[in-house]
Each structure stands twice: as C-alpha cells, then as structure tokens.
Amino acid sequence: MTSYDVKSLSFTGNFKNLPVLQSNSAACHPQVIVHPSNLPSDKLEPECVHESSVAQYSPSIFATRMSLPSIDTLIIFPGVMSDVFPAIILPMVIFICSFLIFFLYMKIREANSFDKIPVLKFCKDTFSWGDYIDKVWSSWLEEGNLFLFEKQFPVGICHAFYSENQIWIEGIRIDPNFRREKIGSKLVTHAELIGKKTNALFSYMLIDTENIPSISMANSLNYELSEIWHFYSLVPKINSHYKIEFVKSVSSNLFPYYVNSWRWFSTNEKILSDLCAQNKIIQSSLNGQISVAIVADYKHDEKTLIVTLFSGSFETLSDIISYLQNYAIEKNYERIQILTKQKLSSFDSLEYRISFNLMRKSLI
C-alpha cells in the first residue's frame, strides 16, 4: 500500500493494468473509490468503500492527470482494476465547472445606471446619519471611473478622480456580507493601475480617524498619513460684522492643499494665482495675525459651500466666519462646510463634526 499526493498523481496506460484507487479519508468528497473484482473485501477499510462510487466503464486506454483539491492523498493497492474512468472524471467536471462559474462572475468593471438600486442597498447606513452615494451617483457616472466589484451581483464600489498628476480615491463601499475579502483593496489597486498609465505620481484618500479597518487597508496598500483635517459645519445667516479683503497672491506654503467638492488637490503657484483672480481667496488681518480661506462650490450639491481655512487668531477667524455666513445667505447656499488642519475656537452656529486622515501614496 502506497500513499501519493493527489495533486501530482498521474496515470497513463492500459486500463486493465492500473491499480485500485481509494481515498484514505471517509470524509473526503468527492470520493474516488473502486471495488476490484479480484481484491478481497477484507483488504479494504469498510468505512471507505461506497458501492455507489464503483465504476462500470470499459475504455481500452486510460490517460489522465488526477487533480482533486478536496482529497489530500490516495492509497494505491496492487491488483487488477475494474473500470474507474467515470468515477474520476465526473467529480472533476463538476468541480471545474463550479470553479469557472464562480470566477467568471467575479470581476471589476465600470458601473452603469442599472447598478444604482443594488449598490444603494448596501450604501444606506455607512455613517450615523446615512450616506451620500445616492446624491453623487449620477455625477460619478458622468465623470467615469466608478468601479464596481461584481460577484454575480454588485458587492463593492469605488470612485477615482484623475487630475493632472494625482488620483483621488473616494466612495469605497463594500456590502457588509462580503467584507474581509480584500474587495476594497482590489478596487483601489485597480484605480491605481489606471492612474499609472496616465503618469499619475500620487494617490490620495480621506479616512475617518476612527475608522480603523479602512486605515489598516490603506496602510496595507502603502498609503501613509499625510495630514489630519477637521470638518466643521456653519449655519448661514445675515451677518454684516466683518472686515475682509480678496487676496491678490498667496504662498503654497500656507495652502499645500485646498478642498474642492470634497477632493484634496495639491496646490502650486498657478492654481493659487487662478483662485485669487476669481476672488476665491479671502483674508482678514489684525495686529499681524491673518486668517485666510479658499471658497469653492460643491459640484455635487449646488446648495453647499465648501471652505478650506487657515486660522491665525480668534478675531480674524471671527471676521472670516461672519463673511461666510453672510455670503451664503446672499448666494442662497443652505449649508457651509469648513475643512481645516486646525482646531477652531467655539463660535455661535459653528459645529465640529469629524476628523479625517489624509492618506497619501507615491506611485513611482
């Protein structure tokens, strides 16, 4: 009696000269068991013999390679063999077909309008207040690069925004029933590969500082913490007690990033110069202290104003906040969202919401 590793076992030759094959574990499935006509039954372990697996097939030549992952080893008994071809091949056909069906329906593709309903089913309770995917879905479809992970049906999404030399990764959502399968990592890697083809140098993503699983995923993909940002909401209202001016020039040292539609963009002198020309950068100065803000529309929600803020003092920050509240009323904004690297002083109508890790990865 000899034991063989089933993954390397092969037979070629005349069918009647082959040995008897028997699984050495009664729990294995599928069983490859043959009951030979000339081998006494007391030579076989009774619990391993299943008459239903006895093959009755008589080809003259038998040539195949065994590959049954569910069986660790086979015990080979010497002796003349009954016909085993169907007992070996049939389980293999079933296994291979199941394997192919599973993997043919597991892929990453671009989402389309028909995917919205099944995707939103697992994008309802992402945060304590719900989710925003339903509000940005149409815009992301129009922009393109809304990637979907499919296992016969959608189980994960991720959107990538490509701009100059960087990628902004956003909206990673995984069906709770399919988490811990590295689906998020596969979607991010897919987005990065596309970015590399367009010569992107860096990839960014924003993660809640308390979202440990997502931070661990980002770290596993070699993302590093770049900065910590804080999100505040501000209520619009009439407020004329402020003194601000539109900035004519500003250094990128003050604003290495600015936020537009909840995407962080690296700045340079040209970008900041263009924003100044559009009167998008305001400042308040008093006693040598300066507070500066970049104002931008939220393209996915026309009623939201997004502000990137640098605070220099309580007094100058008060001027900026008063101006933003009054500006929002004049322009019919319903909400003001402020993103800053600093913890802000307490003001009426200003509410701290959440903090984020800005994660960065070099693609070169």
Each as own residue / partner, the long-range contacts of residues 136-145 (CB below 8 Å, 24 or more positions apart, any chain) are 136/171, 136/300, 139/299, 139/300, 140/171, 141/111, 141/112, 141/113, 144/110, 145/110, 145/191, 145/194
**92: exposed, middle or buried (Cβ count in 10 Å: 0-12, 13-18, 19+):** middle
Whether 26 and 92 share a structural domain: yes
Q: Considering 181, 200, 219, which residue would you say is the last residue of a domain?
A: 200
Task: Give residue 251's pLDDT.
Answer: 86
Q: Considering 62, 77, 104, which residue would you say is the last residue of a domain?
A: 104
Which residue from 336, 317, 315 is spatially nearest to 325, judged by alpha carbons? 336
Residue 210 in any domain: the answer is no
pTM of the complete model: 0.70
Residue 146 in any domain: the answer is yes
Q: What are the pLDDT tens digits along the chain (364 aa)? A: 444 443 334 443 443 444 444 434 434 333 344 334 444 444 444 333 333 333 333 333 333 333 334 444 444 444 444 444 455 555 555 555 544 444 446 799 999 999 999 999 999 888 888 899 999 999 999 999 999 999 999 999 999 999 989 999 999 999 999 999 999 999 999 999 999 999 999 999 999 999 999 999 999 999 999 999 999 999 999 988 899 999 998 888 888 999 999 999 989 889 999 999 999 999 999 999 999 999 998 888 889 999 999 999 999 999 999 999 999 999 999 999 999 999 999 998 999 999 999 999 999 8
Whether 236 and 331 share a structural domain: yes
Task: Give residue 16's pLDDT.
Answer: 42
CATH of the domain at 174: 3.40.630.30
**Residues 274, 333: Cα–Cα separation, whole Å:** 23
Which residue from 313, 271, 321, 332 is spatially nearest to 293, judged by alpha carbons? 321
Q: What are phi and psi of 243, to 5 degrees?
A: -140, 110
What is the residue range of 143's domain?
106-200
Q: How many domains does the chain have?
A: 3
Q: Considering 104, 123, 143, which residue would you say is the last residue of a domain?
A: 104
* Neighbouring C-beta atoms of residue 285, cutoff 10 Å: 17
Task: Give residue 229's pLDDT.
Answer: 97
Whether 100 and 143 share a structural domain: no
Q: Detail the DSSP E strand segments found in 38-165.
A: 61-65, 73-77, 106-110, 146-151, 154-163
HSE of 262, CA atoms in CB hemisphere, 13 A: 21
**Residues 344, 230: Cα–Cα separation, whole Å:** 9
Whether 281 and 180 share a structural domain: no
Whether 85 and 120 share a structural domain: no
Whether 49 and 78 share a structural domain: yes
Whether 52 and 118 share a structural domain: no
Helices marked H in the chain — which ranges? 85-104, 116-120, 133-143, 183-197, 212-220, 269-277, 314-330
Whether 181 and 244 share a structural domain: no
Whether 128 and 91 share a structural domain: no
Residue 239 in any domain: the answer is yes
Residue 205 in any domain: the answer is no
Is residue 138 within 8 A of residue 191, CB to CB? The reply is no
Whether 272 and 336 share a structural domain: yes
